[in-house]
């Protein structure tokens, strides 16, 4: 570690303070020595220290309280605590509260410098991890357009808090990348980022997947499972497609958010967890609340702050830099020429699949390219049956009645017709309607529709 590292030393005993300051300064460190925790906190508020060394026993605020105050205000530098050998239990308690190590009194010079070197090396590695993780997910979050810049600005402002965030956006718009950015810029960056797609897991397995189970908790539980909440302990859990959670699992999720404990299947006592939850959906959750498909109390608990990720068609300025990024990434070091007319065509398209669809198109262009030039003829054909390609798909619909109609009755009739078409097969009907099976099962029960179609 470079000798320019700045160390804050808090020690009320003058001889001990002078000895430690002398040894640290002689080793090349820049030391600020104070005699109280209050003065130490004041210095830490204005100076970016790399390390804090503090006695546990101080007049006024003690070292433990100082440690907690530093963490509460977001100061993440390592902290070494000084303690008499007869008070090791307090030092262990301090380490549980976030201290890096403890140093016994009277000072042993070699022990002091070794502990300092280890702590500063850990600090250096943590900063490197923060730098690398800050780049995870951000490479595709190109922000040339003002609308995307505003979105990322909101992300960065909320990153430092522990508030639950609801990320709303169309499929493929980059909701998980936004969640990764929030995590990467949060104090939890060195802890796990765990993601789960709530729509991709069968309803009967989702509870165990989220909250875990003990071995033998139910038939087929051959081994214990931690669950995603405990996997993310200390870090961030990203719940993608949260609107698809079954209603009973929604209640269990609400308990975790409010009580900060997980009820593990097969275990008597709940397990404490410290997890920040980021949720995402491409649906209008308030509408699902109104229809009774999503709990209102859970909606407000998740929606402390909402972030809307704009669709690609609303930020065409980002298409050219996105294409350049994807081509460079997919080309694996090879250089490709991107004709201006190709970029113009890409900017003209509606991209109903958003950034994900654009990346797939770039992959096709790279694979089919000849002589290092991307060709407009190699673009995939543009879809014409999407909600964002005009009203052509609505022309085949019958005219709407002048006196209005019941949306509930319309939905019920559509479900009945699809179920009859699929001969009562709920799984095939759900696939046809492009909704999860458990959502269709809920509607069948809600409307009293027979599964025999």
Q: Residues 357-397: pLDDT tens digits?
A: 999 999 999 999 888 899 999 998 886 555 444 443 444 45
Q: What percentage of residues in the chain have a pLDDT greater than 70?
A: 89
Specify whether 52 is located in the same domain as 156: no
Is the Cα torsion angle 248, 254, 259, 262 positive or negative in sign?
positive
Domain count, the chain: 4
Residue 140 has a pLDDT of 57
Is the pLDDT at 2 greater than 80? The verdict is no
The whole domain housing 209 covers: 148-308
Bond into 106 cis (ω within 30): yes
* 166 part of a folded domain: yes
pLDDT number for residue 422: 81
pLDDT of residue 383: 65
Q: Please give the radius of gyration of the chain, using alpha carbons only, rounded to the nearest integer.
A: 28
| CATH number, position 107 | 3.40.50.2300
- How far is 282 from 310, CA to CA, in rounded Å? 11
> In whole angstroms, what is the distance from residue 22 CA to residue 33 CA?
10
Q: How confident is the model at residue 74 (pLDDT cuts 50, 70, 90)?
A: low
pLDDT for position 158: 94
pLDDT at 87: 64
For residue 428, give the CATH number of its domain: 1.10.10
Same domain for 238 and 365, yes or no, is no
pLDDT at 343: 92
- Selected residue with higher pLDDT from 219 and 313: 313
User: Which of 133, 156, 187 lies at the terminal end of a domain, its last residue?
Assistant: 133
Given this model, what pLDDT does residue 302 score? Answer: 95
The verdict on residue 14 lying in a domain is yes
- Residues 364, 291 share a domain: no
Does pLDDT of 258 surpass 50?
yes
290 and 357, same domain (yes or no): no
Residue with tokens 């003065």: 39
In 106-208, the DSSP E strands lie at: 165-168, 193-197
Q: Does 153 share its domain with 298? A: yes
Is 453 part of a structural domain of the chain? no
Q: Considering the chain, what is the average pLDDT of its residues?
A: 85
pLDDT in tens, 11-64: 998 988 999 999 999 999 999 999 999 999 988 877 888 999 999 889 899 888
- The pLDDT of residue 88 is 65
Residue 99 belongs to a domain: yes
Residue 398 confidence class, pLDDT cut points 50, 70, 90 = low
Q: Are residues 301 and 318 in the same domain?
A: no
What pLDDT, on the 0 to 100 scale, is given for residue 188?
A: 92
The verdict on residue 390 lying in a domain is no
**What's the chain's length in residues?**
453
201 inside domain:
yes
**What CATH code is carried by the domain that includes residue 373?**
1.10.8.60
Do 282 and 263 sit in the same domain of this protein?
Answer: yes
Same domain assignment for residues 299 and 222? yes
- Specify the pLDDT at position 251: 93
Cβ atoms of 52 and 64 within 8 Å: the answer is: no
- pLDDT score of 64: 87
Reported as a single tens digit per residue, the pLDDT across 83-108 is 875 566 776 777 777 788 888 777 77
Q: What is the CATH number of the domain that holds 275?
A: 3.40.50.300
Do residue 299 and residue 155 come from a single domain?
Answer: yes
Comparing 319 with 132, which gets the higher pLDDT? 319
Tell me, yes or no, whether 226 lies in a domain.
yes
Residue 381: predicted pLDDT: 86
Q: Is residue 297 part of a domain?
A: yes
Q: Is the pLDDT of residue 165 over 90?
A: yes
Q: Are 221 and 105 found together in one domain?
A: no
Domain boundary among 102, 133, 164: 133
Instruction: Give yes or no: residues 366 and 247 share one domain.
Output: no
Least-confidence region, from 21-30, 65-74, 266-275, 337-346: 65-74
User: Given 75, 106, 133, which residue is the final one in a domain?
Assistant: 133
Give the Cβ contact number of residue 231 at 10 Å. 16
Position with higher pLDDT, 182 vs 47:
182
- Identify each DSSP E strand in 202-329 by its residue range: 236-240, 261-262, 271-272, 276-281, 305-308
Residue 297 and residue 322 in one domain: no
């Amino acid at each position: 570690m470079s000798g320019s590292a700045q160390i804050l030393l808090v020690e009320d005993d003058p001889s001990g303070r002078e000895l430690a300051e002398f040894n640290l300064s002689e080793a090349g460190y820049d030391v600020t020595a104070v005699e109280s925790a209050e003065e130490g906190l004041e210095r830490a508020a204005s100076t970016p220290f790399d390390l804090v060394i503090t006695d546990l026993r101080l007049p006024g605020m003690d070292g433990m309280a100082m440690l907690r105050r530093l963490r509460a205000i977001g100061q993440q530098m390592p902290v070494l605590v000084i303690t008499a050998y007869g008070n090791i239990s307090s030092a262990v308690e301090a380490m549980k509260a976030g201290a890096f190590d403890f140093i016994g009194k009277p000072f042993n010079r070699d022990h002091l410098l070794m502990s300092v070197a280890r702590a500063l090396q850990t600090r250096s590695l943590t900063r490197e991890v923060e730098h690398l993780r800050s780049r995870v997910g951000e490479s595709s979050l190109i922000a040339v357009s003002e609308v995307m810049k505003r979105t990322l600005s909101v992300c960065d402002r909320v990153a430092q808090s522990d508030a639950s965030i609801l990320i709303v956006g169309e499929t493929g718009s980059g909701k998980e990348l936004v969640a990764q950015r929030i995590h990467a810029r949060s104090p939890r960056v060195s802890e796990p980022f765990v993601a789960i797609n709530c729509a991709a897991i069968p309803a009967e397995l989702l509870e165990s997947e989220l909250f875990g189970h003990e071995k033998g908790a139910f038939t087929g539980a051959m081994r214990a499972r931690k669950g995603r909440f405990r996997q993310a302990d200390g870090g961030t859990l990203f719940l993608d497609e949260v609107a698809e959670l079954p209603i009973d699992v929604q209640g269990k999720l609400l308990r975790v958010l409010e009580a900060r404990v997980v009820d593990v299947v097969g275990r008597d006592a709940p397990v404490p967890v410290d997890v920040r939850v980021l949720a995402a959906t491409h649906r209008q959750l308030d509408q699902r609340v109104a229809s009774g498909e999503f709990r209102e109390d859970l909606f407000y608990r998740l929606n402390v702050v909402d972030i809307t990720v704009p669709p690609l068609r609303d930020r065409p300025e980002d298409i050219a830099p996105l294409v350049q990024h994807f081509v460079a990434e997919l080309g694996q070091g090879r250089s490709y020429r991107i004709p201006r007319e190709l970029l113009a065509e890409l900017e003209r398209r509606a991209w109903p699949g958003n950034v994900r669809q654009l990346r797939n198109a770039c992959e096709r262009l790279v694979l089919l390219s000849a002589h290092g030039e991307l060709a407009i003829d190699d673009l995939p054909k543009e879809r014409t049956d999407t909600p964002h390609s005009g009203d052509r798909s609505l022309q085949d619909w019958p005219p709407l009645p002048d006196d209005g109609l019941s949306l509930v009755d319309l939905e019920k009739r559509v479900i009945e017709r699809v179920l009859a078409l699929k001969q009562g097969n709920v799984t095939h009907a759900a696939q046809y309607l492009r909704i999860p099976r458990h959502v269709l099962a809920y509607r069948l029960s809600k409307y009293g529709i027979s599964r025999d179609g």
